[in-house]
Amino acid sequence: MNRIFSTIAVLSVAILSMATVHSQTTANSQVPPLLLGAAWYPEQWPEARWDADLALMEKAHLHVVRVGEFAWSSMEPTEGHYDLDWLERAINLAGKHGIYTVLGTPTATPPAWLTAKYPETLRIDENGRRDEHGNRLQYDWSNAKYRALSRAIVERLATRFGHNPYVLGWQLDNEISQISTSDGAHKQFQDWLQKRYGTLDNLNTRWTTAYWSQSYTDWSQIPIPRRGGNPGLMLGWKLFVSDTWRGYLMNQIDVIRPHADARQFITTNTMGFFDGYDHYITEDVLDLAAWDDYVPNGKIDPVRNGMAHDITRGFKRKNFWIMETQPGFVNWSSVNVSLKKGDVRALAWHDIAHGADAVSYWQWRSALNGQEEYHGTLVGADGTPVPLYPEVQQIGAEFEKLGPVLAGTHVDTDVAMLHSYESRWAIEWQRHTDKFDPVAEMGRYYGPLHEATQAVDIVAPNVDLSKYKLVVAPALNLLTDADAKNLIAYVNGGGNLVLTARSAMKNGDNGLQPERQPGPLAALLGGRVEQFYALPEPVPVDGDLLHTKASIWAELLSTSSPDTKVVLRYGKSNGWLDGQPAVISRRVGNGSITYIGTVFDDAAMKTLTEWLLSEAKVTKSKLVVPEGVEASVRQGNGKTLHILVNFADKVETVTLPSPMIDEMHDKHTVREVVLPVSGVAVLSEPR
């Protein structure tokens, strides 16, 4: 993003100086490298109020607003009659206050005239009921008429704002997620399957439809799996859903790009761990990754939240945006607990630490009516600041001050974790033990890896992995042939690959691999999984490295190659496992492949990851922080920046391994940092 931003900055200056649009020159004619912002809905307020709101935003050092994503009825009050003048006035007025705009396409909320006239555009839910007007995301994402209507409004917007100097980029729709089981979607699914499988014979074989008499003799017989079904069918449906979302986004991108300056990015706001579709399929067509980061219970879990950041960063493998986050509290949980004083700031810096370049609050001010009257805001219904406002103002001032320091930096690491929606789905659909949660399993590895290295990438299994010394693939249950080839090439090229429990059991059709786990990687490993067991209680695991207990899942491993080493063995447990290998590892040239067949607790994971890191010759960070303090690194432009955030509930002192420059406090050189509760430090290594 920083590269994009510097381009934007240069272009913005050029465009602003030439501009003949009504826009006035902004106080800030350069886009700041770190942006703080809020969702602003000018259509909900009298125009006479706009300037006062924008002045309050400016005072809080906000430099971006997210506008328009629910405003279709204000933009196109009746079919084919557009009113975008108010929007242009709002964008340009914000620009006058030094505030740039991310323009939302309004397709998450079709207007009443649309759904009344074209009821076929409404989604059919899993129970066969047609959705109604009055909420949002009630459209059918596969419907051609809805696509045509969306295209028309989006093209209007692009034509009008594609060259507006204050518009930084586009957010398509909002939290895309709701799908439809309409007849139209069903037919498209059958056509999609025909394209994927070619013949019914091929599909029947690959899905093993002889099982339970599921064989199909006509494409039209293939159902939508509304309440479960054949794993091949279920995977096919999810991939169709993902491809249809990609088409849904492309429908809008196709009419934005020809009218928009290249500097304007196109994104959509995703939702962390949400797995309704394969985001690697959709993000491929976007320029920037962004997600909406909410902490409904008010208690930030830096490991889980950090992992969601890093998944999002991995979509485009570059810096990302927090498109929404809570000003204190949300309104949609069972108990909507506010973040404690100081934690909104802590969260903002934790975002930046993981590679965000923008943090935008949802929302600036509550609408006077509507479904979200209780949600946290930055100003009250009366239009004056809420108690959180000064904290946000502080963040804004810090972003302004430290923006130039962080410009051009990103997370750079030689440790990656693999993340696969297909594997998560495959496990979710056939858990075998409800205690095995694929996201929790990722967290078990992510926590200690991040603690040791302070920077971890999370990427899809099909990307070029050659830059990483260590790649950990937690529960990579479904392995396509192409991904298997990628992993084999990585190890043969000197990489260190770690597979964990439940790896490589399924093939690309979500069927069982014909070889035992890890399927196509078993030969490289010189070992395999003889059997898997769901554990009712912990079992002992021993070796030179560890004396501990494992739980939830245990795979009985074996070695077939003399150079595959047994690292840990099970102790006495269910008889089958007693004395058998639990962790095995094999050196392959300069690389290695390791299989960890069970689930360890946090203490054991710490030792195990230390071992994995040292085997892969990954240098651990020299900056050691007390428990509860998160340390992260951003690098670039010859700079190394350490960002420390204290999530512990007491003051913590961090002794630095070498003198560093305290970027927040007058660039003093420091050897020690005292972090109050929720405290933040941004330190740079002297060049």
Q: Which CB atom, from 160 or from 375, has the smaller least distance to ligand GLA?
A: 375
E-state strands within 234-319: 265-267, 269-270, 290-293
User: Closest distance between ligand GLA and the C-beta of residue 41, in Å?
Assistant: 10
Helical (H) or strand (E) element with 586: strand 581-588
User: Closest distance between ligand GLA and the C-beta of residue 336, in Å?
Assistant: 9
User: Closest distance between ligand GLA and the C-beta of residue 439, in Å?
Assistant: 19
Rounded to 10 deg, the angle between the 302-316 and 343-353 helix axes is 40
Q: Which CB atom, from 371 or from 466, has the smaller least distance to ligand GLA?
A: 371
Helical (H) or strand (E) element with 37: strand 35-39
- Cβ-Cβ contacts under 8 Å for 672 (sequence gap 6 or more): 653, 654, 655, 656
User: Closest distance between ligand GLA and the C-beta of residue 301, in Å?
Assistant: 18
User: Closest distance between ligand GLA and the C-beta of residue 372, in Å?
Assistant: 6
Strand partners for 500: 596
Q: Which CB atom, from 308 or from 416, has the smaller least distance to ligand GLA?
A: 308
H helix and E strand count, the chain: 18, 25
C-alpha–C-alpha distance, residues 346 and 458, integer Å: 23
Q: Which CB atom, from 136 or from 410, has the smaller least distance to ligand GLA?
A: 136
Q: 3-state SS of the chain: helix, strand, coil percent to 5?
A: 35, 25, 40
User: Closest distance between ligand GLA and the C-beta of residue 63, in Å?
Assistant: 20
User: Closest distance between ligand GLA and the C-beta of residue 330, in Å?
Assistant: 4
Distances (CA, A) of 131 to 139, 179, 182, 240: 8, 11, 11, 21
Tokens of 134: 């009055």
- The DSSP result for 471-535, as a single string, is EEETT--B--HHHHHHHHHHHHTT-EEEEETTTT-B-TTSSBPSSSTTGGGHHHHTEEEEEEEE-
Distances (CA, A) of 445 to 413, 490, 553, 609, 620: 16, 20, 15, 7, 15
Q: Which of 175, 398, 555, 630 is catalytic?
A: 175
Binding site for ligand GLA (CB under 6 A): 174-175, 292, 294, 324, 330, 332, 362, 372, 375
Q: Which of 324, 451, 555, 652 is catalytic?
A: 324
Residue 293 CA neighbour count, 13 Å, CB half: 35
Residue of 300, 295, 382 whose CA lies nearest to 330: 295
User: Closest distance between ligand GLA and the C-beta of residue 288, in Å?
Assistant: 17
Q: Which CB atom, from 332 or from 576, has the smaller least distance to ligand GLA?
A: 332
Using a 10 angstrom Cβ sphere, with 0-12 exposed, 13-18 middle and 19 or more buried, the burial of residue 326 is buried
- The CB-nearest residue to ligand GLA is 292
Q: Which CB atom, from 177 or from 194, has the smaller least distance to ligand GLA?
A: 177
User: Closest distance between ligand GLA and the C-beta of residue 647, in Å?
Assistant: 22
- Supply the Cα-derived Rg of the chain in whole angstroms: 26
For residues 244 and 185, is the Cβ–Cβ distance under 8 A? yes
**639-646 vs 265-267, strand pairing mode:** unpaired
Distances (CA, A) of 257 to 54, 266, 270, 452, 464: 29, 9, 21, 42, 28
E-state strands within 141-196: 167-171
Q: Which CB atom, from 363 or from 564, has the smaller least distance to ligand GLA?
A: 363
**Residue 68 DSSP class:** -
User: Closest distance between ligand GLA and the C-beta of residue 291, in Å?
Assistant: 10
Tokens of 317: 């493998």
324 is catalytic: yes
Q: Which CB atom, from 118 or from 274, has the smaller least distance to ligand GLA?
A: 274
H-state helical runs in 354-464: 389-406, 421-429, 438-453
**Residue 207 DSSP class:** T
For residues 678 and 652, is the Cβ–Cβ distance under 8 A? no
* CA 336-340-341 angle, 5° bins: 135
Strand partners for 557: 529
Tokens of 460: 């899809």
For residues 154 and 146, is the Cβ–Cβ distance under 8 A? no
Q: Which CB atom, from 106 or from 232, has the smaller least distance to ligand GLA?
A: 106
Q: Which CB atom, from 123 or from 160, has the smaller least distance to ligand GLA?
A: 123
User: Closest distance between ligand GLA and the C-beta of residue 112, in Å?
Assistant: 19
Q: Which CB atom, from 323 or from 605, has the smaller least distance to ligand GLA?
A: 323
Tokens of 203: 């599909």
Catalytic residue annotation: 175, 324
